[in-house]
Chains A and B, each alone.
Chain A
Amino acid sequence: MAKEKQSFEEDLKRLQKIVEELSGGKLALGESLKKYEEGVKLAQSCSVTLNDAQRKVELLMKNNGKYSLDKFEDTDSKEE
């Protein structure tokens, strides 16, 4: 799994927390702006991760106790 996909859940949770904190309105202005900036970045990277269009379709095989991956010929993608 790509790095950004690994951290996706954490990023989303962090984003939710930031929104909560900002909505609470208890932060100083400087802190608020810093969090806002961070939140915007997190939202951006989360949607980029979700909107990623690079997929791998592979066949998992096991021979003599060893796993190997083969590219799967997706008939659908050939049509394009």
Chain B
Amino acid sequence: MQNNNQSLSKNIYTVSEITRDIKLILENTFGQVWVEGEISNFRPASSGHFYLTLKDEQAIISAAMFRGANRDLKFGLEDGLKVICFGKIDVYAPRGQYQLIIERIEPKGIGAQQLAFEQLKNKLAKEGMFDPNHKKELPLMPFCAGIVTSSAGAAVRDILQILKKGAPGVDVLIRSVRVQGETSAKEIALGIQELNEFGKADVIIVSRGGGSTEDLWSFNEEVVVRAIYNSKIPVISAVGHQINQTLSDLVADYFVETPSAAAKIIVDKKNSLLSEIDSLRHELGFAVSEILNRLSHNFVALRHMLKSPMDRLLEKGQFLDELNSSLTNNMRHCLNMTQLTVGSLIKRLDTLSPLSVLSRGYSLSTFVSTGEIVDSSEKLKPGDIVKTVLNKGAFISSVQEVIKNG
């Protein structure tokens, strides 16, 4: 009891006192420290503060990163991520816990920006933003190029110069934006949206004339990637860079490494169309001369075919002429023959004529009333008037008496 009292009188802490002393010792001993470990049990709170545990093989330590510190964090914290934290050791008296209050955090072995890039890239890839099937064809010939870049930069000058030289008919619509600095990503995204809304451009070149990875960071930002993805007008990403592709490159319908190369796409399109038109023109001429050749061949062949019937016609004509003349001769001959025949017939007729009998003393009687020849007395009756023709002259008489068989 006495001992107890002694020890009590010597040094008895209340919980608060000992905690306060621990707090003082810990916080004063370590001050600000760098701690390396792996994140586990990461819990973002609705207040905006982050709570997590850092661990290695043998130990763990609680950690907190308050809203004010994590607001500008470029990459996302997640379990398993190896990090190096800068902060101070704090004792949280209400729970008797010591913890690391993180002020800055860096991924280990990889830059924060790089990590942020990878994380965003994975996230957007999962959404299908880099899907080749979503990529749009450039128009057959872009007659108006929209450019989202700084109007004061080298990119716009390069593009204008190359277009002027190679495709001087292509209109250019510049939507000037800041291409670096805090607001630049939002401006670039808005520029793409506005060119879509305005609608005149048939291709959009999102460009900047080069710079360090940090300078080009806007072209890796989510808002820009989404604006490019959502653009109805095909987008060419032309961010001057040597090493890594930007996310803009990945999401754009086409990407090239320099602003000049973007302009050259348009110039090349124009030139290849011109040569296509040229060859179409040739084909057109060739096709028509083919048609004309074929027709003229046909014509010659037809003329050959026409020539022989003509000849045959001439032959027939000659034959006809021959026939014609022999026909005339024959006719004449026939006619002569006929005349001769008719002459002799007439002579023969003369000899057969009953009239010639009269000259030998015979006479011929006919009924006056009917003209019928009286060749039998049976046809007669007394009183009939008959005409009797003699060799010379005639007379008319009346029948006195009919003698049968006289």
Contact = CB atoms under 8 A, between A and B. Distances in A.
Contact of B281 (A40, A60, A77): A40
B169 A51 contact: yes
B144 A74 contact: no
- The A interface is mostly helix, strand or loop, or mixed, namely helix
B143 A5 contact: yes
Contacts of A46: 273, 277
Contacts of B169: 49-55
A46 B170 CA distance: 14
A5 B143 CA distance: 7
B291 A19 contact: no
Given A12-B140, A12-B273, A77-B164, A56 B280 contact: no
Interface string A46-75: 110111111111111010000101001011
Given A51-B169, A58-B173, A60-B195, A43 B160 contact: no
Contact of A19 (B141, B198, B284): B284
A8 to B, nearest CB: 6
Nearest to A49: B169
Given A9-B141, A46-B277, A18 B284 contact: yes
Contact of A72 (B151, B194, B276): B151
Nearest to B172: A57
Contacts of B146: 60
B267 to A, nearest CB: 11
Contacts of A9: 139-141
B142 to A, nearest CB: 10
B104 interface: no
A2 B195 CA distance: 18
Given A1-B200, A25-B290, A60-B194, A72 B172 contact: yes
A50 B174 contact: no
A43 B140 contact: no
B195 A53 contact: no
Given A36-B284, A55-B169, A15 B141 contact: no
Nearest to B158: A76
A55 B283 contact: no
A46 B277 CA distance: 7
Interface string A5-17: 1001100100110
B288 interface: yes
Contact of A25 (B143, B202, B294): B294
A68 B173 CA distance: 11
Given A1-B143, A57-B174, A22 B277 contact: no
Given A19-B284, A22-B284, A59-B174, A8 B160 contact: no
- Cβ-closest 5 pairs across A and B: A52-B169, A22-B287, A53-B168, A43-B281, A5-B143
Interface of B: 139-141, 143-144, 146, 151, 157, 160-161, 163-164, 168-176, 194-195, 197-198, 200, 202, 270, 273-274, 276-278, 280-281, 283-284, 287-288, 290-291, 294-295
Interface of A: 1-2, 5, 8-9, 12, 15-16, 18-19, 22-23, 25, 27, 29, 32-33, 36, 39-40, 43, 46-47, 49-60, 62, 67, 69, 72, 74-77
